A and B are shown apart, each in its own frame.
Chain A
Amino acid sequence: MKKKKMVKKKPSLPPMSLSFEGTQASKTGTWRYLTPTYLNKLAPCNEACPAGEDVEATMVLAGEENYLGAWEKITQENPLPRVCGRVCFHPCERACNRKEFDEATSINALERFLGDRAFQMGRGFRPPQEKKKERAAIIGSGPAGLSCAYHLASLGYAVTLFEAQPKLGGVLRYGIPAYRLPKDVLDQEIDSLLSLGVEARTGARLGQDMMWEDLKKYDAVFVAAGAWKSLPLKIPGEEAAGVRSGLEFLQKVNSGQAVDLGQRVAIIGGGNTAMDAARSALRLGVKPLIIYRRTKEEMPAWEEEVLEAEEENIEIIFLTSPVKILTQEGKVKGVECLKNLLGPPGKDGRREPRPIGGSNFTLQVDSVITAIGEAPDLSFLPAELRKSADSLSVDETGATALKGVFGGGDIVAQPRTVALAIGSGKKAAMAIDAFFRGQDAAQALRLARWGDKGTLSMARYRRGGGDGLAQEVVKFSDLNLAYFKRQARKPKEKIPASRRTSDFSEVNPGLSPASALYEAKRCFNCGVCNLCHNCFLYCPDLAISARPDKLGYDINYDYCKGCCICVEECPRGAISVEVRK
């Protein structure tokens, strides 16, 4: 409808000085040499998540109190939010831009909240719409195997999980103690995943209960058997009764078997297995003593685990290496040790320990747990897959030397984290899907990538890439901080150390609903337009209009003169500038 013009004819003067001609006649867009365009970018947390979760979008939904929507967003990528929300080392929080402002958003605790909430509300996975004929076998039901099974099943494939142990879960069940990941939570997560129609065969150890040839009837195989071989100390006395590996110890404790450690146990090593073993021993009423050859700074265990061990008053002797296990009648009596100095950095950048000659001393202990590292057992694999002695060799898509056989998780050469195992299971699911469809897996994975750290998005994979999100990661300097106020992060609540070491009940009670919402709202939503309206309000030419579909804004380039105030005033870097007309 044509509106009546405010000023009709030139001769009659309006009472105020008012242009006769409407300003729309002047197409200020012709002045433009910088062109702002809406372009959602990648939040650093998304790029940093080894499991490939869309953390930013999850935060938006959680901030709107759409907790089920947020849970769905997570489980598009990762079927185990209740597990990761408890045990993940959360590199997302280390990448969080907010940490430069005050403190990182509590992403990990929020993930747990969302997972627990969805479970309490009885929410489960939706079965796939169509069933496909191809079948896949998965060796190992740890985080990599579960993740691969979930994604393949969601894509409609028939999946069979083979697990050597009596129950599913791999390292989640037999490695991680219950005070960090309660067994009922794990059971519920696995049950929910199996409801997609995944077949599970437990007590089926490859090379023992079944043979590699038995897998021939499957169209693809994903090998994710983990790394369950403990590295030996290679010192005298190691074969004595009372010396056992950390993995063996944890496996027994986590299966509910009795383990006799005597009064005092020495745990050799500074990694997560050592921390888990020491804290589990403490809960069995034994006094643990951790022996580590370098200092706290070089410890490979996650900071939080070390902190919690310290809170529980677990003694750690630094700069000390065992040289001999002392025995009496074939049983452990003590450990002879040497003190170390720190030398120059080694290959991994950590300073190397240098023993001090003659500094020998003895620690009286009744048992020893070795936890200096783990390696995969490849003996059950065919010769073609055993070319490298340390790990199963795979290419960038997770494919092995054998056609249709893929590998992931701790059995391949990659940092041993739950999140990365979940990510590698997802990667294998994409590669297997591409393989079934006769497509180039490397190309399909490239389209699904998020940033440059190897993170893959299943949502992107399913769309075949194009979701309009740039690969560019939003830096702290890209944000307009004037629009954020400092808000302290909600501290993780913990059962005090004095009340938590008598049994294996969970140490961390999680976020309250109020704290969870508060944390979700603390998120900067880096790089993604959340309809804050700033650009619309600030545009001096009224060239920006809100889209009726509420999916963003449009710029009328007839009048956008390229001042880029919108770019400056966007709090989250969701508008880009190009040098063009």
Chain B
Amino acid sequence: MKKLMTGNTAVSYGVMLSRAEVISAYPITPQTTIVEELSEICADGRLKAKFIRVESEHSAMACVAAASATGARVFTATSSHGLAYMHEMLHWTAGTRLPVVMVNANRAIGSPWSIWCEQGDSLSQRDTGWLQLYCESSQEALDTVIQAYRIAEEVLLPVMVLVDGFFLSHTSEPVEIPDQKAVDRFLPPYRSRYKLDPDDPHTFNIMADPSIFISFKHDAQKAMDEAKKVVARVDREFKAHFGRGYGLLEKVRCADADVLFLTMGTAASTAREVIEEYRKRGKKVGLCRLRMFRPFPARELNKVLSEAKKVAVLDRDNSLGSGGIVAQEVKAALYGAARKPKVFEFIAGLGGKDITPETIGEVIEHTLNNVNPGGEPIWMGVQE
């Protein structure tokens, strides 16, 4: 069945179809309507889940982590400051290897105060041990939530699904709602091997002495490495079931491109149009949309980028004192590659500023017209 729905509604449908058993969240714009809708879905019985209201995001994460530790399939959603408030619990959840699925609606972190889109909130949590999957459309958001449970429960790592605040969270698009039975076939109930069990109680998160601590971290790293394969496989299986797949990254007209435009999230939709315009004018421009940021698909990316002469990376974030976070990762991935494109870095769309076709046009134009990147990222639309 096809329905017109916002990204947030699509997420709540994805959670419902995944048969989450415990949901706990604290409201924050632009995430709120996800859990608002889920609370209604729980209240009217469409989803038999325990919906736990809490007084903060820290508690929300503690709540779903504990529920997950008992073997329940869990969900929470947050945004920006809420995600920042969860920071400590993000580490604990990943360290306990709990398959928690969370949706974060990307929003700038103050100050200045802002409720609008920026990806810095989730990118600044990149080292907490969570997988990160960035969505471009409402359909992808719904599908990715379902995939996320399969992935998380297989690799025993939490998964963060990212939707751009307002551009995706609050914008309506037609979405194909998968059949519940089909989702059940794709996503069987969660069977946890390690869980809090009153009949055989064990202590979780006991202290690991220096001789052994590193082993747990190494094990988590191995799981992250494994996750690259699992994300790809789950996506392929999803495509077999539902006819839609997204990959770790998406290539549009990349094969013969001289200039590759690389970004994450909804800016890719705009870029698709711009690239077609350039193609019409005979310019060999392609698009690479990065869907998975953690684990970072360095090898896969390398393969795509090494065919191009130049890469224009558009970051909707900035690591103060360094530069765009995606660009840093891209450059690091190219280190040691036999053929390296030149990487042009752009910072745009912070705090909800529109990334328009003109913005992307300027980025591509600049990349086409310059032989070498200047060494510093170019900031788009700064008021002098």
Contacts and interface: CB of A to CB of B under 8 A. Distances in A.
**A and B: interacting chains:** yes
Interface in A1-22: 3, 5-7, 13-19, 21-22
Interface in B282-301: none
B224 to A, nearest CB: 12
A15 B197 CA distance: 17
A149 B215 CA distance: 83
B193 to A, nearest CB: 8
B333 to A, nearest CB: 27
Contacts, number: 56
A142 B32 CA distance: 68
A6 B197 CA distance: 9
A389 interface: no
Pick from B97, B202, B215 the residue with the most CB of A within 10 Å.
Answer: B202
A542 interface: yes
Contacts of B200: 3, 5-6, 22, 24
Contacts of A6: 193-195, 197, 200, 202
Given A3-B200, A13-B216, A22-B202, 17 more contacts: A5-B200, A6-B194, A6-B202, A15-B97, A15-B156, A15-B216, A15-B219, A16-B97, A16-B194, A16-B216, A17-B95, A17-B207, A17-B216, A18-B204, A19-B203, A24-B201, A542-B198
Pick from A16, A18, A23 the residue with the most CB of B within 10 Å.
Answer: A16
A22 B201 contact: yes
Interface of A: 3, 5-7, 13-19, 21-24, 542
B157 to A, nearest CB: 9
16 contacts: A6-B193, A6-B195, A6-B197, A6-B200, A14-B194, A15-B223, A16-B97, A16-B204, A16-B205, A17-B95, A18-B194, A18-B204, A19-B202, A22-B202, A23-B201, A24-B200
A13 B219 contact: yes
Interface of B: 95-97, 156, 193-195, 197-208, 212, 215-216, 219-220, 223
Nearest to A23: B201
A7 B200 CA distance: 10
A149 B320 CA distance: 91
A197 to B, nearest CB: 55
A19 B204 CA distance: 7
B141 to A, nearest CB: 29
A42 B223 CA distance: 60
Contacts of B199: 3
Given A6-B194, A6-B197, A16 B202 contact: no
A17 B212 CA distance: 10
Contacts of B219: 13, 15
A413 to B, nearest CB: 60
Contact of A17 (B198, B208, B223): B208
Contacts of A22: 200-202
B194 A542 contact: no
A22 B96 CA distance: 17
A163 to B, nearest CB: 62
A16 B92 CA distance: 10
A18 B206 contact: yes
Given A15-B156, A17-B208, A7 B216 contact: no
A18 B193 CA distance: 12
A6 B200 CA distance: 8
B205 A23 contact: no
Contacts of A542: 198, 201
A409 B95 CA distance: 75
B95 A16 contact: yes
Nearest to B192: A6
Contacts of B215: 13
B378 to A, nearest CB: 43
A357 B230 CA distance: 108
A23 B204 CA distance: 10
Contacts of A3: 199-200
A58 B226 CA distance: 64
Contacts of A14: 194
Nearest to B212: A13
A358 to B, nearest CB: 74
A16 B193 CA distance: 12
A23 B220 contact: no
Given A13-B215, A13-B219, A18 B202 contact: yes
Contacts of A7: 202
B204 A17 contact: yes
B230 to A, nearest CB: 15
Interface pairs A-B: 7 shortest CB-CB: A19-B203, A23-B201, A15-B97, A16-B97, A19-B202, A17-B208, A16-B96
Nearest to A4: B200
Contacts of A23: 201-203
A388 B215 CA distance: 94
A115 B119 CA distance: 68
B68 to A, nearest CB: 11
Contacts of A13: 212, 215-216, 219
A309 B223 CA distance: 84
A7 B195 CA distance: 11
B221 to A, nearest CB: 11
A23 B207 CA distance: 15
A18 B203 contact: yes
